[in-house]
């Protein structure tokens, strides 16, 4: 029996689309809502209920679009559970943000104690991002890493660490797919490095 989606989900989709209307994917002209739809799709494919699917649509709203006031709006419109999942998926909502590595290490520690629905949305987010990185690396090569504050080494460290953090709670098909994508990215990076050394 599929999870029924009500008008709450439709309202969340409109809310997310408007909230992120002027935002694009990092280093591209792709509307940011494409990522939100991708994460919500993955969440539903991996068993999310409506609250979790709504949180997937809104998982970046606090971090990217207004901080705690946006979280309060989400709580009022979509309820406490959705707000809690979104808050649990938020890397940081302060301005200015702490240093990149500090934020990532804090988030990784948080995943060890985060509820299962937070880990589900987070893993869907990371898988959708990892797939985009892999696809873009095939086209752009090493130039891709200029988009990311962590550069190549930091970004790869972060994704390896995320796989380990999620795996500690069980190697689900979702986590296994994230691990596969990260491993494929590793192989491409290593192959490109080897080809450059041979020149």
DSSP codes joined into one string, 21-39: TT-B-TTS-SBTHHHHHHH
Active site residue 49: no
**What's the pLDDT score for residue 26?**
86
**What's the pLDDT score for residue 198?**
60
Query: Could you give the CA distance from residue 97 to residue 103 in angstroms, rounded to a whole number?
Result: 8
Task: Provide the token pair at 27.
Answer: 């280093």
Task: Provide the token pair at 184.
Answer: 């494929």
Active site residue 64: yes
Candidates 101, 71, 98; CA nearest to 86 is: 71
**What's the pLDDT score for residue 196?**
63
**What's the pLDDT score for residue 94?**
76
pLDDT in 10s for each residue of the chain, 199 residues: 556 799 999 999 999 999 999 998 988 899 999 999 999 999 999 999 999 999 999 999 999 888 899 999 999 999 999 999 999 999 887 777 789 999 999 999 999 999 999 999 999 999 999 999 999 999 999 999 999 999 999 999 999 999 999 999 999 999 999 999 999 999 999 998 766 666 5
**What's the pLDDT score for residue 193?**
79
**What's the pLDDT score for residue 1?**
55
Q: Which of 64, 93, 136, 177 is catalytic?
A: 64
**What's the pLDDT score for residue 48?**
96
> Does the structural domain 7-198 have CATH classification 3.40.50.1700?
no
Query: Could you give the CA distance from residue 181 to residue 115 in angstroms, rounded to a whole number?
Result: 24
Nearest-10 Cα torsion for 120, 122, 151, 131 = 50
Query: Could you give the CA distance from residue 148 to residue 144 in angstroms, rounded to a whole number?
Result: 8
Q: Which of 45, 49, 50, 63 is catalytic?
A: 63
SS3 for 2?
A: coil
Candidates 85, 79, 26; CA nearest to 58 is: 85
């Amino acid at each position: 029996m599929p999870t029924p989606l009500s008008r709450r989900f439709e309202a969340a989709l409109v809310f997310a689309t408007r909230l992120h209307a002027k935002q694009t994917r990092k280093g591209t002209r792709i509307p940011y809502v494409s990522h939100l739809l991708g994460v919500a799709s993955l969440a539903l494919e991996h068993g999310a209920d409506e609250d979790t699917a709504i949180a997937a649509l809104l998982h970046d709203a606090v971090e990217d679009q207004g901080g705690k006031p946006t979280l309060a709006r989400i709580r009022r419109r979509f309820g406490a559970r959705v707000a809690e999942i979104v808050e649990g998926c938020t890397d940081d909502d302060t301005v200015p943000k702490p240093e990149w590595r500090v934020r990532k290490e804090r988030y990784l520690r948080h995943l060890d104690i985060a509820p299962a629905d937070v880990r589900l949305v987070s893993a869907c987010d990371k898988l959708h991002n990892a797939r985009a990185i892999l696809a873009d690396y095939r086209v752009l090569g090493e130039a891709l890493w200029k988009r990311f504050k962590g550069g190549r080494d930091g970004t790869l460290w972060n994704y390896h660490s995320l796989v380990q953090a999620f795996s500690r709670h069980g190697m689900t098909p979702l986590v296994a797919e994230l691990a596969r994508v990260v491993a494929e990215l590793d192989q491409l990076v290593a192959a490109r490095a080897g080809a450059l050394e041979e020149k």
